[in-house]
Structure 1
Amino acid sequence: MKKKKRSLLLATTIIGLSAILSPLVTVGATNNYTVSNWTREHVTNIELTDRNTAPVINMDELEKFDEDYHTWDSWPLKNKDGSIAVVRGYQIIFALSAPSHVLPGQVHDIAEVRYFYSKNGKDWTNGGPVFEDGDALGSRQWAGSAMIDEDDQLHFFYTATGRKGEEHITYEQRFAKASADVVASRAGISFENWSDHQIILEADGEYYQTQEQGSQGDIAYAFRDPEFFKDPKSGEEYIIFEGNSSGAPADRACLPEHIGSPEFAENHDVPEVSVLFNGSIGIAKATNEDYTEFELLPPLLEANCVNQELERPHIIVKGNNYYLFTDTHFDKYAPGITGPEGLYGFVSDDLFGDYKPLNGSGLVIANPPENPYQAYSWLVLPNGTVISFVHFTDLGDLTIGDIGHQSHEFQFEHFGGMQAPSLKIALNQDRTHIVTELKQGAIR
């Protein structure tokens, strides 16, 4: 099939064909790839139940790994096959961090990755910054992933945000990679003999929107969260990531496959501003053994006219199925539809789709209505354990947008900046449910 193209001129041509296709299949997938859609119709199926609503978090019962630091997005060290790595008895967690005196709204502007290690999964030691001072690319580092190979080499992928030495903060996002030896001793874990840090991927403007395209009227820009994934069926290695569908707003349109079935679309109004919502989940294939060269492929899934940000995407494989997960905020939905802050997921028997939303809507875990911002940045591990961090709790009628207008004392009092109690979920074909709540930060 021909490469996917986006144009307002194509909209009328495609409508007739799209109406007879499954609402999950984007017209114009490349070769054997199917670009799946999360549609507006899927989102209207969202319903909070006991099976998908997380227990209320009581922040007074929790504690930080280190009181001197806020932590948020986190990920464990994994083996190539995605299993949790254990290095001479140590488990290792990486997390974005900032000093605990920094206001919650400013932590992303100075984020650096720290690591923590433990032998019992309960008592964690702060190992310090992952990277040697001044080595990391970007003015700050956002989320990524870490893999250890058969030679005890750490391969670390991260989002290099902004540029070193920039006078004013910018939001350029590129993928960077560095490697090091993992050294375990009685004293703990350290990383030595770091390689040079290299930029390995940038948005191309064809499959994934560039910052320049996004600056022509879009709401926000995303090209971040590189997650290493080895396909157990083919043995090929990839990076899964968050992006935006390519093109400036004037080049895009809300097409039938973004809306849903013809029956649904007949009675569903799509506000014009919905075209500004163009979240996507991307994939790139490793083309060398050092993981420094990758080929961008068409997106696995898009949420055009549905949602702006599909954050921290990742895949686990169970049986013959690929489970694709992502996180999003309630205020990232396009007008006319809504969903909670939560973990969302999709399933396919092929890495490249066709992905169908889990539970008919995509919702897997929602924050409870009485504490709608309590947790975020969920990450599903191969054993069904889901980790996240405590975001904001007990806000009453306030929204996230109101917090920055509150006193500093209020902001610190209600911000978690720590690991949340983990959850265990069950996966059964295209259905999921929360099984139980686990201890804070549990990864096993």
Structure 2
Amino acid sequence: MSSNNLSTGAAVAILLAALSPSAFAQTANTADAAALRAQIEALRAEQARIAEMQRQTEAKIRQLEAGAGVASPAPAVAPSSPKVASADGASKLNVTGDLRLRFQGDYSDDDARARRSGQVRGRIGATYAVNDRVTLGARLVTGDADDPNSTDVQMSNWDDDFQVALDLAYAQVNFGDLNIFGGKIPQPFTRTDLVWDGDVNPQGLSGVYKHKLGDGSALRASGLFFIVDEDAVAADSTMVGGQVGYDTAQLGNFKFDVSAAYYDYTLGSVVGADSGDFRNNRRKANGDYLSDFNLGDLIVGATWSGFGSRWPVRFVGDYVKNFGAETSDDTGYGADLGIGRVTQQHDWRVTYGYSVAETDAVLGAFSHDNISIGTNYKLHALTVDYVPMPKTLLTAYWYHYKPDNALDAGTNAIGDWLDRVRVAFLVSF
């Protein structure tokens, strides 16, 4: 037992003895009472001295721990992204996520009744640094596991529970400017929704290279071997793609960027595909795609900061051509112009976009699903974003669109403009 515990126990015993009725009877004279009080005061002084020594010792231990890089005790309020510290103080575990609530209205003059619906999307992911080179990552999301370009869940089906799937599960190896990813991996390419939906995470092997130059500019290169569908008895479906890019340094109020890519699909098997994957692409009588998909994709961007840091003006143009198409409907293009940012509370951003995707210009399985037509469309899109509170985002969307040609319009009337309106509230951590 420590001296602190002995001193405290003695003090308690003496105090109890002093306060008991029998003790008062045995210490009737004044001299005995004074001696007892002196002993109590001495014990209290000794206890205070020991407590001070303990405080000084703990302070020295904390100082030594700080010098060795040991993590400090957790704060009273936990951080928004839980982290585990390694022995050298670096964060090893990082957890992030978000939840989005969305209202959607679909309106048409001729084709169908007006429809109003609600969707929920939830995502939670984590990365773990095994060492200074290797990182593991994974993410759970709501949504249909058979739908690679959407993680939203329709609020319907008599209150059935939501489906949850794993849309990321990968290992990353860091070689400085070059990072190698394997598994169900993050999208490695600079993209727009014209060719790649934001929810599509390929499966296979990728490399992402970025090298910063001395003037502030940067060179980029990405490659991907994409396992689309593996068949035990028939030919597999794969894609081999690459992209190179260049970001300029700040040139006055301007910055520019350009990215050029080529994606070569070999679609030998469609066993794993369903109607949501084929969408509006043309197909043969046996169900296979009519066209091959060898996509050349050019993206150019420009940012002007003349209105200040809160109101950057951003232009992005995207042009894609399918060199493997068996039809003349092989081209897509889009342009987006936005002003504002959404990084701090009370920030605003307004974006207008126009795009056209001919029937076999892109592979509909992996292009965006913001509207009900996968390809063969003309689209006007207006988006307004606002940050009401930290880590939140309120967004209003208006999509105004129609089929591009009558041959592949299906049940949509060629002259009928369709409208989709969305209002979404996003909370992230």
Q: TM-score, normalised by structure 2?
A: 0.32
Structure with larger Rg: 2
Q: Quick one: higher RCO (CA 8 Å, sep 6+), 1 or 2?
A: 1
Q: Give the TM-score normalised by the residue count of structure 1.
A: 0.31
